[in-house]
Amino acid sequence: MKVGIVGAGFVGATAGFAMVLGGAASELVLVDANAALAEAQAADIAHAVPFTRAVAVRAGGYGDLAGAGVVVLAAGVGQKPGETRLQLLERNAAVFADVIGKVLEAAPDTILVVATNPVDVMTQVAARLSGLPPERVIGSGTILDTARFRSLLAARLGVTPKSVHAHVVGEHGDSEVLLWSGASAAGLPVERFAEQTGQPLTAEDRAAIDAGVRRAAYRIIEGKGHTAFGIGGGLSRLVGAIARDERAVLTCSILTAEVAGVREVALSLPRVIGAGGVLSTLHPDLSEEEAAGLARSAGILKKAADSVEAVL
């Protein structure tokens, strides 16, 4: 499948590299306002092709996105140290107002995958600006937060993350909700798994894992100024599920008719991903605390989206 990436900075280029390594694309086109940057990133990625799969990698303009099955929107300003994702909102909404029309003029049948932060609100902005059905405008959402949750929980349990099933829902950001009530390992609730392996999960363990997931991006940005590898891998996984019509269940964000009493809001839930984009949405059983957290997260995102739609 041909994949376009608009925005050849850290996230866009790393996602493209991950797609080449993982076989998510047969052709990759990088587009950026800085044409020299797009050319350099495309050349650098292309030099890895002899070590992996045969993928045609090049830079181009918006017209070169024609025929792309997926276009990843990674354009926008980056998150500064100490800045929340929601503070990025108005600046990146203006970028999308310029970019999306050009993308759809070249590739009207594409699926948009949104990576720009704050990703949930930007997904809602992209859905409104594009006029595409919600299932064809997919934000990366909490796909990375879910991976962080699984990774930290697996490390505590002493098993591979591939044996742990757990989700993070709501906002990709400060109000996200870790679904402890449904977390499992080897088919067992994680609390029972931990007890049977002789290392019960304590309240301190849970608090440390929660903080590790919730504050991960801030710590990484403080240390090196940006995040790229984790989200690049997540975007590659999402695009690969579309390209291969996997019908994989991934936590990602789309504009959703109603969540926890909040109407018309983009946030993450577990969703079935295939060739048509989001094929269906799952609503996990939640504890009272988790349900309240999801309602709070939905309310925060709805308020932010309403504020930016008023100025678009």
Which among 29, 27, 21, 35 is positioned nearest to 4, based on CA atoms?
A: 29
What per-residue confidence (pLDDT) applies to 284? 95
Q: Is 92 helix (H, G, I), strand (E, B) or coil?
A: helix
What pLDDT digit, counting tens, does each position of 194-210 carry?
999 998 999 999 999 99
Q: Is the pLDDT of residue 79 over 70?
A: no
| pTM exceeds 0.75 | yes
User: What is the H or E stretch that residue 213 is in?
Assistant: helix 203-214
Considering the chain, what is the average pLDDT of its residues?
94
Give the model's confidence band at 312: pLDDT under 50 very low, under 70 low, under 90 confident, else very high. low
Q: Is the pLDDT of residue 77 over 80?
A: no
What pLDDT digit, counting tens, does each position of 87-129 carry?
677 788 888 999 999 999 999 999 999 999 889 999 999 999 9
Q: Is the pLDDT of residue 311 over 60?
A: no
What per-residue confidence (pLDDT) applies to 75? 93
* Average pLDDT of the residues in 242-249: 98
What per-residue confidence (pLDDT) applies to 308? 80
Length of the chain: 312
Q: Is the pLDDT of residue 85 over 60?
A: no
How far apart (Å, rounded) are the C-alpha atoms in residues 144 and 57? 25
Tell me if the bond preceding 189 is cis, omega within 30° of 0. Answer: no
Count of alpha carbons within 13 angstroms of residue 130, beta-carbon side: 32
* Average pLDDT of the residues in 2-7: 98
What per-residue confidence (pLDDT) applies to 90? 78
What pLDDT digit, counting tens, does each position of 30-63 carry?
999 999 999 999 999 999 999 998 999 999 999 9
How far apart (Å, rounded) are the C-alpha atoms in residues 9 and 228? 9
Strand-pair category, 56-59 with 164-165: unpaired
How far apart (Å, rounded) are the C-alpha atoms in residues 276 and 279? 7
What pLDDT digit, counting tens, does each position of 282-310 carry?
999 999 999 999 999 999 999 989 888 76
Catalytic member of 47, 165, 172, 283: 172
Active site residue 47: no
How far apart (Å, rounded) are the C-alpha atoms in residues 271 and 284? 11
Amino acid at 135: E
What per-residue confidence (pLDDT) applies to 65? 98
